[in-house]
Amino acid sequence: MLLQKRVILKISKTLISQKEIENKIAEIADLINSKYKGEELVVVGILKGAFIVVSDLAKQLDIDVTFDFMSIKSYYGSESSGQIKIVKDLEYDISNKNVLIVEDIYDTGLTLSNLKKLLESRNPKTIEIFCMFVKKGVSKDPTEIDYSGFEIGSDFVVGYGLDYNGKYRELPYLAVLS
Ligand code: IMP
Ligand code: MG
């Protein structure tokens, strides 16, 4: 097990350290605690990538919060709008609730903008988005993101929930495969 871990570490280069990630989560948790003080919040984690962000954030929240998860698949056909398919839906009814979507990474933004539209159609009281990593790009418009962890370049990244063929999600830092 230990040996396998060493092999994984060798093929990745750290882009954002564990400490930087911890500090950022604490900073964003403070914003969320202030914003939703005295209110109820439903945190909606997007599986699988957001499972680590949600669990780290959860431990820093001191508000009235419940957690739910959704799993979606995005399709990128010739249409630029993209489509999402629900693989696992929410358990709770979010109508009239404050909803915070937590996502791992924003690349083209299609997943998040489609998901936001879908959840808005269920009439939540409010809806906000926390995305841990946001890829910079000229054709993208990440204005819909209310809390953004780190802006990164266009490299394919792994770790802190993000995978390459299902692997590397467990790394406590963000890495570029090298
Ligand atoms: P978008 O719809 O293009 O914004 O895609 C977002 C989804 O693509 C994320 O939820 C990830 O699952 C995946 N993704 C995009 N970029 C990366 C990356 O660099 N590493 C791992 N997964 C990524
Ligand atoms: Mg994802």
What residues does each domain of the chain span?
A: 19-153
Among the listed residues 115, 111, 113, 108, the one whose alpha carbon sits nearest the alpha carbon of residue 134:
108
- Look at residue 142 in the predicted model and tell me its pLDDT: 61
What lines the ligand 1 site, CB under 6 Å? 49, 74, 104-111, 156-158, 162
- Look at residue 32 in the predicted model and tell me its pLDDT: 98
In the chain, which residues have pLDDT < 50? Answer: 1-3, 6, 9, 78
Write down the catalytic residue from 107, 146, 155, 163.
107
Helices (H), the chain: 2-10, 18-35, 51-58, 110-120
- Look at residue 153 in the predicted model and tell me its pLDDT: 93
- Look at residue 9 in the predicted model and tell me its pLDDT: 47
Q: Which of 80, 115, 162, 170 to mutate to test the pocket of ligand 1 (most atoms within 8 A of CB)?
A: 162
User: How far away, in angstroms, is 38 Cα from ligand 2 center?
Assistant: 31
Among the listed residues 121, 143, 142, 115, the one whose alpha carbon sits nearest the alpha carbon of residue 49:
115
The CATH number fitting domain 19-153, selected from 1.20.120.80, 1.10.540.10, 3.10.180.10, 3.40.50.2020? 3.40.50.2020
Q: Which numbered atom of ligand 1 lies nearest the CA of 155?
A: 19
User: How far away, in angstroms, is 80 Cα from ligand 1 center?
Assistant: 16
What is the DSSP code (8-state) at residue 10? Answer: H
Asked whether 175 and 14 are in contact (CB, 8 A), the reply is: yes
- Look at residue 84 in the predicted model and tell me its pLDDT: 84
Alpha carbon nearest to ligand 1 atom 3, residue:
108
- Look at residue 91 in the predicted model and tell me its pLDDT: 97
Among the listed residues 154, 157, 159, 156, the one whose alpha carbon sits nearest the alpha carbon of residue 169:
159
Which pairing describes strands 157-158 and 174-177: parallel, antiparallel, or unpaired?
antiparallel
**Residues within 5 A (CB) of ion ligand 2:** 49
User: How far away, in angstroms, is 96 Cα from ligand 1 center?
Assistant: 29
